[in-house]
Structure 1
Amino acid sequence: MKEGAIGIGVNASYAPGHGQKEYFALAELAIEYDVPTFTHVRYASITEPQSSFEAVKELIGNASITGAHMHICHINSTSLSDIHATLALVEDAQAKGIRVTAEAYPFGAANTVVGAAMFSGPDWRDRMSSTANNFQLGADRMTEDELADYQANNPGTFITWHFLDENKTEDLALLDASVTHPSVLIASDSVFWSYFDEDGNVKTYEGDEWPLPEKAFSHPRSTATYSKILRSYVRERGLLSLNEAIRKMTLMPAQTIEDSVPQMRNKGRIQVGMDADIVIFDPATIANLATFANAHQPTVGVQTVLVNGGFSVRDGELVLDAPHGRQIRNSAAD
């Protein structure tokens, strides 16, 4: 915190046995340094006890008692089909002035390690309403035998987990509920890139080639989150206005942390005196091309990206040596 960290990350779902006292102590630390916590809530379950609903109540309780600002990471994938109930909790908390915020990404699949604690125990599929063959590695869905093998022998392998089927009306409606909710901002939860080596082992790609090598794979949210919002939710289905979508992707994230990170008061606004962080795109053509089978297809329809007034994308081409980015630090580091 003293070196400028913008908040405290809490990966509760990956350590579900951590104590409530410990989590409460992190909330107290956050209020001491006037920064938010960013929590991947524990459990990820639609059954009780130890449900996602319970986990969100715990976060809201900590925020209410300590006064800390506590942010819920990807409320869509952590709530699963209980999204309406958890969104109602957030609404009620915010109406009472409790400092709770949330974000979501516009995909019915997550990306995480295959050996995560949430995918363990005799009833984990029932708790998550998780069907067979809904895990993906690279371009292909994993068989149940492959899943068991990776969990036993390569538990740190990153996989894509399909928790909703966007081709089903009822599943898509659950995803839409999180994405379109007025209080939920849009975040990508971008992840790194992987590849299979010559022996078939999964490795993390650490190069800097552009375009990315054909063998690299990831989750499409790493390249296509915001373009999917503009294509699907704005242009094609009309679930969000263009202004509301842009607000959710720019101004809301800045406002979420600007109380503790003063630099963010100059972000997310096109005004005199603000930082010139600007994306110029064509609303009629912007589209996400990335898929779960092939995630490294770049978005189309973006012409220019300015960061602090300097080009990062110019005439549709990435500027590989753009030097314009700056560190963001909390107010204590100023």
Structure 2
Amino acid sequence: MTHTLIAGAIIADGEIIGDHPQDVLLLNGHIERIAPPGSFDHLGAIPRVDAAGLLLTPGFIDTHAHSDHTPLMAEDDTSKIMQGVTTEVNGNCGFSLAPIATDFESDYASLVRRIFPSFRHDWRSFAEYLQELRRGEFVTNFATLLGHNTIRIAAMGTENRQPDEAELQAMEQLVDQALEHGVAGLSTGLIYPPGVFSETPEVVRLARRLPRDAVYSSHMRNESRFLLRSLAETVEVAEAAGVRCHVSHLKLADLRRAGEMSTALDYLADRRASGVRITQDIYPYTAASTMLSALLPPWMHDGGSVALLRRLGSAAELERAARDVADASLDFENYALQAGWENVVIASTGSHRFEGESLASIANRLGLQPVEAVGRILVEEELQATMIVHAMAEEDVRTALADPRTMIGTDGLPAGTGGRPHPRAFGSFPRVLQHYVAEEGVLTLQEAIRRMTALPAEVFGLTGRGRVLEGYAADLVLLSPGDIVDHATFADPMRRPSGVRDVFVNGVRVVEAGTWTGRRAGGFLRAGH
């Protein structure tokens, strides 16, 4: 048996913050006992962590991660653990890395490589994927949703059509198989192919395979002009299936509609009052980030990456795409129109050209129209390009963050692509504590910790996590709230925060005095629904 004593900490247990120091005894990855200082002196010379003057919180839970491949990486991805994140919920936006059907393997691979770095995928079933993950080691605990885009590709490829009965049944079977292995629920990414081609009844039918306490989580069809319509569809799916409803990265991504977030929250509160279990997460920034190809209208993605590249090479098709992007009457998620080309910035490309430069600047420098510039970049980079879109108003971020059902998700794009990624992957949790708690007072420290720990553990079925209680897993953070500083910026996004002193994952001290120890102590977490 291995004891560790955390001595003299003030405990924020996930619901309340205590008013006097306590000693916390860890044993074999769990919290064994919590007692007044000195209660464990009889145990003699056991490993002791002096926590005087520090706050001990549950490990933070990133509710919206894209770290589906990081256990396979030789390099340690410490972007989350250095923030105090001990658990990540992956498989978001309709993208999980399994299952893969042999008949449509190229469709799967070509879509995944638009956003993930290159890696081998020798698995087919969800069970084989988890087996492969376990051959590696987890920096953080790994929970996951099942991605609708992934199972749609596995059943029918990337065509723009509705599934037949056999294909629907194939998708249902894939949901059932993933549930057997502990997924927390189903995610959709309805602006991305092939999910963008689906209709609501298809998603309802799949969500009905979920247990009652599982989560239907959606990156909705529209987060701008048609935000309320998209929220209604999301709630409709969860309500029809009788499951939890979770809105991914709630935002109003349209600079022309600043100040309207309160209307969306009022709608969610009304539906919640009628009995629908609704939550949401946000990242605390006014910029989004995703694959560059998301700038294009949906019809360009019909048939997958080969067909998209062919259309990008056609002047007539690019001209048609440019007309669609300029047409405010169309209802696809139109980032360029919502933010303006000057606010769309290249984050990363396969060759690392163009990074940090806006589409307006690139187009001007190349003597092209903006959509032509997008086409050239995507063709030359073989679709491996991501972007940052400055499309939200600060007042709407504050309004969303103030809602008591809002959790924190980094939505950090997959590690390993390099470039100049969104700083949210490195600074989301410290930014909330520094900027929105200490400086702005949008929410209290106690409430912020609850939203980062106990609330997401409850919603995503992470049994025995998210609290500092006896018997719970020893996922813990020692920090000095007054010293928390988020150093990550858009110009220098990979800087680590300060003020997070120690982090424990399953009882192992993996961050010590602000330094990563190199010990991977996480594991796969089955959802308890």
TM superposition score normalised by structure 1: 0.81
Partner of 1:62: 237
Q: Which has the higher mean CA deviation after the structures are superposed, 155-164 or 296-305?
A: 155-164
Partner of 1:96: 274
Partner of 1:28: 208
Q: Which amino acid aligns with 1:159?
A: M
Partner of 1:237: 440
What is the distance in 1 between the residues matched to 2:281 and 2:253? Answer: 11
Secondary structure in structure 1 of the residue aligned to 2:442? coil
Conservation of the 8 A alpha-carbon contact between 1:227 and 1:287: yes
What is the distance in 1 between the residues matched to 2:189 and 2:439? Answer: 35
Secondary structure in structure 1 of the residue aligned to 2:437? helix
What is the distance in 2 between the residues matched to 1:56 and 1:127? Answer: 22
Q: Where in structure 2 are there 5+ consecutive unaligned residues?
A: 1-178, 298-320, 329-333, 348-354, 364-369
Conservation of the 8 A alpha-carbon contact between 2:463 and 2:528: no
What is the distance in 2 between the residues matched to 1:226 and 1:112? Answer: 20
Confirm whether residue 16 of structure 1 aligns to residue 244 of structure 2. Answer: no
Partner of 2:496: 298
1:53/1:266 CA distance change after superposition, 3 Å = same
Partner of 2:345: 136
Q: Deviations over 1:36-75 (max 9, x none)?
A: 12110112331xxxx1210100111222222121211011
Q: Deviations over 1:134-168 (max 9, x none)?
A: 0112463413254535531414411111112xxxx
What is the distance in 2 between the residues matched to 1:292 and 1:4? Answer: 36
Conservation of the 8 A alpha-carbon contact between 2:463 and 2:527: no
Partner of 1:286: 484
Secondary structure in structure 2 of the residue aligned to 1:13? coil
1:149/1:117 CA distance change after superposition, 3 Å = closer
1:77/1:110 CA distance change after superposition, 3 Å = farther
Q: Where in structure 1 are there 5+ consecutive unaligned residues?
A: 165-170, 195-203, 206-215, 259-263
Conservation of the 8 A alpha-carbon contact between 1:133 and 1:141: no
1:328 CA drift (Å) = 0.7
What is the distance in 1 between the residues matched to 2:390 and 2:440? Answer: 22
1:26 CA drift (Å) = 2.3
Conservation of the 8 A alpha-carbon contact between 2:204 and 2:240: no
**Which residue of the other structure, out of 209, 216, 222, is the alignment partner of 1:37?**
216
1:127 CA drift (Å) = 9.1
Confirm whether residue 257 of structure 1 aligns to residue 437 of structure 2. Answer: no
Q: Which amino acid aligns with 2:425?
A: S
What is the distance in 2 between the residues matched to 1:99 and 1:21? Answer: 20
Residue pairs, 1:1-334, within 5 angstroms: 1-14=179-192, 15-31=195-211, 35-46=214-225, 51-76=226-251, 81=258, 82-116=260-294, 121=324, 122-123=326-327, 129-138=338-347, 140-144=356-360, 145-146=362-363, 148-149=371-372, 151-153=374-376, 154=378, 155-164=383-392, 171-193=393-415, 204-205=417-418, 216-258=419-461, 264-320=462-518, 322-331=519-528
What is the distance in 1 between the residues matched to 2:429 and 2:337? Answer: 27
Relative contact order (alpha carbons < 8 A, sep ≥ 6): 1 or 2 greater?
A: 2
Could you say which structure has the larger radius of gyration?
2
1:148/1:272 CA distance change after superposition, 3 Å = same
Name the Cα RMSD after superposition.
Answer: 2.3
What is the distance in 2 between the residues matched to 1:118 and 1:163? Answer: 17
1:18 CA drift (Å) = 1.5
What is the distance in 2 between the residues matched to 1:227 and 1:131? Answer: 29
Q: Deviations over 1:203-230 (max 9, x none)?
A: x24xxxxxxxxxx431111000000001
Percent of aligned pairs sharing the same letter: 25
1:241/1:27 CA distance change after superposition, 3 Å = same
What is the distance in 2 between the residues matched to 1:42 and 1:186? Answer: 21
Partner of 1:210: none
Conservation of the 8 A alpha-carbon contact between 1:13 and 1:117: no
Conservation of the 8 A alpha-carbon contact between 1:44 and 1:118: no
Secondary structure in structure 1 of the residue aligned to 2:180? coil
What is the distance in 2 between the residues matched to 1:244 and 1:331? Answer: 24
1:126/1:289 CA distance change after superposition, 3 Å = closer
1:150/1:309 CA distance change after superposition, 3 Å = farther
Give aligned pairs, total.
296
